[in-house]
Amino acid sequence: MIGNKASVVIKPQLQINSRLASNELIKHAKVTLTTTSYIDSIPVTKNFENIRFQNGRDCILDFQVPPYLGDISVSLECEVFNITQQKNQAFTASKSFPVSTHAHSYNMCEVYMRKEGKDHFVYVLGKNGEPRPDVNLSFDI
């Protein structure tokens, strides 16, 4: 939801010659997070500098959800010291996540299922997230 905190979780795994290596060999890591609006396609970029990766630990980066979020792109740049060449070698990786919205849907409400404890609940919510009372639902199980 707009204005709430969202997180990007990075699970680092460094392999050298197809063998796992220590994530602490990754140096000068920088993550660029770009969110794009589905209304006007204007990108907003946030940089995370000097990220340190530890073995067995996820890297969690928080950001605020902008209005009209349509796409999230994450790009990682880092360096690893190459022993044979005696210099740092640059690496990059990127991933894009489209965000599905119901903004252009003609449906006036959507059905959602939620698990709370051992129970499951079905909610019918309007386009703004408001509960829609007195809606008839039919389930085929």
11-28: per-residue pLDDT in tens?
A: 999 998 999 999 999 999
Do 38 and 91 share a domain, yes or no?
A: yes
Residue 74 included in any domain: yes
Within a domain: residue 46? yes
On whether residue 141 sits in a domain, the answer given is no
Domain span holding position 25: 5-98
- pLDDT for 90: 96
DSSP the chain: -TTSEEEEEE---EEETTEEE-GGGEEEEEEEEEEEETTT--EEEEEEEEE---TT--EEEEEEPPTTEEEEEEEEEEEEEETTTTEEEEEEEEEEEE----TT---SEEEEEEEETTEEEEEEEETTS-B--S-------
pLDDT tens-digit profile of 80-103? 999 889 999 999 999 999 887 666
Per-residue pLDDT, averaged over 66-90, amounts to 93
Query: Do residues 73 and 121 share a domain?
Result: no
pLDDT at 102: 62
Q: 89 and 111: one domain?
A: no
Residue 127: pLDDT above 80?
Answer: no
pLDDT above 70 for 104? no
pLDDT of residue 59: 94
140 inside domain: no
Which position has the higher pLDDT, 116 or 100?
Answer: 116
Domain count, the chain: 2
